[in-house]
Amino acid sequence: METTTQDISFVKKIQTVFDAQKQYQHIIKQTSVEDRVAKLKKFREVVLKYKVEAAKALYADFQRPYAETYALEVSTLLNHIDYTVNNLADWLKKEPVEPAYPAVIPFTAEIIHEPKGVVFIVGPWNVPFFLTLYPLISSIAAGNTSIIKPSELTPHHSALLKKMIAECFDEQEVTVIEGGVTETTELLKLPFNHIYFTGSPKVAKVVMRAAAENLASVTLELGGKAPAIIHESADLDKTVFRIIKGKALNAGQICMDVDYVLIPESLKAEFIQKADVYLKNAYYAKGDFNYEDYDQIINEANYNRLKRLFDDAVATGANVEVGGVFEEKLRKIQPTVLTNVSTNAAIMKEEIFGPLLPILTYSTKEEAIKIIRQIDKPLGLYVFSNDSEFTDYIIRHTTSGGTTVNDVMLHAFDPAIPMGGVNNSGIGKGYGKYGFLELTNARAIVYQSPEVPNDEFFKPPYEGKAEIILEGLK
């Protein structure tokens, strides 16, 4: 492919920005707690200033209702800023370390948390305001410089972020660079110290390969097929309400969302009936389905992908119990509940990332575990149960990035709780102190004592010394 003048100009631009941040990181590293807190407070003011514009931008990008943006994104982001401001002084304190064998090696030691350097933040399209900006909170707290690449699939949001960040930070400290795959590919060639990526496992592998070229550390926030396991002891009214409400939120385009339900056969019909009632009360209050309170699928490609998953599921024997309405012109899909879904169907092999909900049944807890283990470790796992023995069994016999009991996604909103996946659902942890630790280097500082027992021991000649060491190995 021929290189254009525009390509060369972009490469020069990002190299200039990167070089400036690489130099400036040494200045940022020296900033005090007070300096960093002041930056976070200024950032908070800008977030508040543009809260309405953020809602308008995301409505323009995929018709997200304002209420969802304020609750999911703006409010949550402000909570994370406040939590970091209130705790940063403690996180930045030097940690004294007691030597393990003071009689043998009587040094004193401490651990300091120093910034990694230049951080590259790659944001997603699904919850773009919060998921692109919360890593920035950690980066500022850690004392790094940052380059942010928002998703090209939400262009109005991307333009707003560029405006906000430019108002709040100097380019040599934090900047937003817009563009698509080509621009991201060029940015990944730069020798960043850390890459913080939120997106799909497929793209994460590309990011990880690029990071390996420069031995950059990575945080990968991905997704996976999150199960909701329902026990006979669960309060089914609350269970259905919370699962279906979560599945409808953002039209199911949330990495933490329930991907499929495991339920005893005896409860299946009641679950379906209650799901139908909830959706009618929530979306049919005025007669027809209320699309004004419901998100678009982000683009035609993802709409077609979801239609393919749905068609394949039905073709392989699935029954449509609720929903199943696809409005192509609106690019909206009503929340859909499917039963009799084959575990070999594409919908059970791919992350759905949309408002389709397969219902599978199980007879024993061992059978439920077997189904879960056949699929990659998820970002979230949800247990609906008032039987502590059952709950503990599910938690002990599964692995996930996080787990919420008797609700969905709750662990993904509190800044005091680590956010992140495991293996295919992610690498590394974010939020609060965990995000701060992710973006800092724990540097050990050891101060040797003036007087060290046997200081001269490891000085040649070694004759007879091996026997002395061997005698002490007990």
Burial of 172 (0-12, 13-18, 19+ CB in 10 A): middle
The letter for the amino acid at 160 is L
Q: Catalytic residue, from 173, 183, 221, 351: name it.
A: 221
Euclidean distance between CA atoms 82 and 99, whole angstroms: 36
Distance CA 177, CA 288 (A): 42
- Beta 258-264 vs 356-362: how paired, if at all? parallel
- Provide the H-helix boundaries in 4-92: 5-28, 33-49, 51-62, 66-68, 76-91
**Percent of the chain as helix, strand, coil, to the nearest 5:** 45, 20, 35
Beta-carbon contacts of residue 242 (< 8 Å; ≥ 6 apart): 406, 407, 408
Phi, psi of 231 (to 5 degrees): -105, 160
Closest C-alpha among 209, 214, 174 to residue 194 = 214
Asked if residue 241 lies in contact with residue 279, where contact means CB atoms within 8 angstroms, the answer is no
255: annotated active-site residue: yes
In whole angstroms, give the CA distance from residue 474 to residue 472.
6
DSSP type of residue 193 = S
Of 68, 173, 255, 351, catalytic: 255
Q: How many residues does the chain have?
A: 474
Tokens for 170?
A: 């100097």
**Is the C-alpha dihedral spanning 124, 127, 132, 136 positive or negative?**
negative
Q: Which of 285, 11, 75 is nearest to 67 (CA)?
A: 75
57, 225, 459 from 67: Cα distances, Å: 13, 27, 72
Q: Which amino acid is at 81?
A: I
- Residues with catalytic function: 221, 255
